[in-house]
Amino acid sequence: MSPDVCYCFEDQELDDVAANMADVKVHRLPVVNRDKRLVGIVSLVDIALANDPTGVVTSALCGVFSAAHRPRQRGAALFRARENAL
């Protein structure tokens, strides 16, 4: 388990949530209300589906998938093979 649990609030701005995800390099965050009770989970897919034209998605994805976290060549080749099969 992670020593520090990261989360966001249900009324927090999407820009802030995406920036936080990029900073801590996570794909999902628990969403809590102001009483810190869990109300859901937000993922990068949720942000992408929000169709936000401000570039938040690109920023979040770049932060999460920085050079330090790129897949090894074998994994990247497997991803391309799956993508081409679609």
Show pLDDT as tens, one digit a residue, over the chain (86 residues): 667 889 999 999 988 898 888 888 888 999 999 999 999 999 887 877 776 566 676 677 667 666 555 554 444 544 444 444 44
Sheet containing strand 38-43, edge to edge, reads 8-9, 28-32, 38-43
Does residue 48 fall inside a structural domain?
Answer: yes
User: Domain containing 25 — which CATH number?
Assistant: 3.10.580.10
Does residue 1 fall inside a structural domain?
Answer: no
Q: Provide the pLDDT for residue 85.
A: 47
Q: What is the extent of the structural domain holding 68? A: 8-85
| Structure tokens that stand for 34 in this block | 């102001």
Does residue 2 fall inside a structural domain?
Answer: no
Half-sphere exposure (Cβ direction) of 71: Cα atoms closer than 13 Å: 8
Q: Provide the pLDDT for residue 19.
A: 87
Please give the model's pTM, rounded to 2 decimal places.
0.60
Does residue 65 fall inside a structural domain?
Answer: yes
- Residue 51 has a CB neighbour count (10 Å cut-off) of 7
Looking at the structure of the chain, the number of domains it has is 1
**Residue with token string 């701005």:** 13
Angle value at C-alpha 13, between 36 and 6, nearest 5 degrees: 45
CA 48 to chain centre: 9
